[in-house]
């Protein structure tokens, strides 16, 4: 991450590290939106559906299904200066399947040796080796977002800054939000809420909607699973509400972690205290979409593989929150 403003550059020249910019998003705020995904997060959620977002730096991604095999290629082996790539034991059917009667041998990555320099990705003609993350200036991101302005105007949409944790790249996020508001774009920030209040307070005038996660109300349980306690997150939510900010609360439903009636009642009571600042509560049932991504990257930390809650269990949780007079939806 090269975020900086101490070198005299104008805010439009600030750079941030982004791993994806997704157009036509309908899950990250009102209307049709363009979502900008920043790298880097202070939390380590074992169920994270975007593990490529956790590290702040640009990192190597390896997709075996795209590799065309050592017999046809092997350029990456010579490109790697750290000898982190070698012929692997895995073979897969060659293109054409059984009709060709052959197999191709794939490379394997020694993640302990790999330093994410990107030399192998530059050499790979098939895109099996690629880099997750790219540095963008504020101007470059705004130009990309503005291409979708017609969709925003017709649907009441806008731009959402997501992550990772956007406030971990605080200077870049602030400059980007300012630039988007100068263009009249509706802005949302998808955040864990785990950031110094001073950072959030500076951005408040440029944020139309916060998408704020509440993962667990108990500080000790929150820290045990994600490495940080929940008290700062809850206090920031209170301060956003007191400052006149608007929030959509998001609750990931994780089996045997935060789906107890005790925790759900605690969520309901807390959100009700925030009053009119909350536009609604979204329930996000656990899914395992992030697990296959872990095979593609260097990853350290716990991994959760669990059976998702049943529809009946999710509806029961919704009913509890409905009882607090909240507007609750399931996504």
Q: Kindly report, residue by residue over 53-94, the tens digit of the pLDDT.
A: 999 999 999 998 899 999 889 999 999 999 999 998 877 776
pLDDT value at residue 95:
57
pLDDT value at residue 10:
65
Average pLDDT over residues 259-272: 98
* Average pLDDT over all residues of the chain: 92
Which residues, 6 or more positions from 97, have their beta carbon under 8 angstroms from its beta carbon?
Answer: none
Confidence label for 246 from pLDDT (cuts 50, 70 and 90)? very high
pLDDT value at residue 9:
56
Rounded-to-integer distance, Cα 194 and Cα 214, Å: 11
DSSP 8-class letter at 70: T
CB distance 61 to 129 below 8 Å: yes
CATH no., domain 11-57+133-330? 3.20.20.70
Query: Is the pLDDT at 273 greater than 80, yes or no?
Result: yes
pLDDT digits (tens, 9 = 90+) for 10-50: 677 899 999 999 999 999 999 999 999 999 999 999 988 88
H-helix or E-strand spanning residue 182: helix 170-182
Token duo for residue 224: 């045990």
CATH no., domain 59-131? 3.30.70.20
CB distance 127 to 65 below 8 Å: no
pLDDT digits (tens, 9 = 90+) for 147-170: 999 999 999 999 999 999 999 999
Confidence label for 277 from pLDDT (cuts 50, 70 and 90)? very high
pLDDT digits (tens, 9 = 90+) for 214-233: 999 999 999 999 999 999 99
Query: Is the pLDDT at 1 greater than 60, yes or no?
Result: no
pLDDT value at residue 299:
76
What does the domain layout of the chain look like in residue ranges? 11-57+133-330, 59-131
């Amino acid at each position: 991450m090269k975020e900086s403003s101490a070198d005299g550059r104008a805010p439009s020249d600030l750079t941030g590290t982004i791993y994806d910019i997704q157009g036509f998003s309908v899950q990250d705020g009102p209307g049709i939106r363009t979502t900008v995904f920043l790298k880097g997060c202070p939390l380590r959620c074992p169920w994270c559906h975007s593990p490529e977002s956790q590290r702040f730096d640009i990192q190597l991604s390896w997709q075996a299904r795209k590799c065309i095999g050592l017999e046809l290629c092997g350029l990456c082996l010579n490109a790697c200066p750290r000898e982190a790539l070698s012929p692997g034991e895995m073979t897969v059917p060659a293109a054409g399947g059984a009709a060709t009667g052959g197999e191709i041998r794939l490379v394997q990555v020694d993640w302990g040796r790999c330093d994410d320099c990107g030399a192998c990705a530059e050499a790979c003609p098939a895109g099996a080796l690629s880099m997750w993350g790219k540095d963008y200036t504020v101007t470059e991101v705004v130009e990309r977002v503005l291409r979708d302005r017609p969709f925003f105007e017709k649907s009441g949409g806008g731009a959402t800054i997501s992550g990772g944790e956007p406030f971990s790249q605080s200077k870049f996020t602030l400059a980007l939000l300012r630039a988007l508001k100068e263009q009249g774009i509706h802005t949302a920030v998808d955040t864990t809420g785990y950031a110094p209040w001073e950072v959030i307070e500076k951005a408040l005038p440029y944020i139309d909607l916060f998408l704020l996660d509440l993962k667990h109300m108990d500080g000790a349980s929150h820290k045990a699973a994600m490495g940080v306690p929940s008290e700062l997150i809850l206090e920031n939510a209170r301060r956003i509400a007191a400052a006149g900010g608007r929030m959509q609360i998001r609750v990931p439903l994780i089996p045997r972690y935060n789906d107890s009636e005790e925790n759900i009642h605690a969520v309901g009571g807390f959100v009700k205290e925030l009053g009119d600042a909350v536009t609604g509560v979204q329930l996000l049932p656990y899914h395992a979409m992030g697990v296959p991504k872990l095979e593609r990257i260097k990853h350290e930390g716990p991994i959760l593989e669990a059976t998702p809650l049943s529809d009946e269990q999710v509806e029961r949780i919704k009913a509890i929150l409905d009882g607090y007079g909240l507007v609750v939806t399931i996504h």
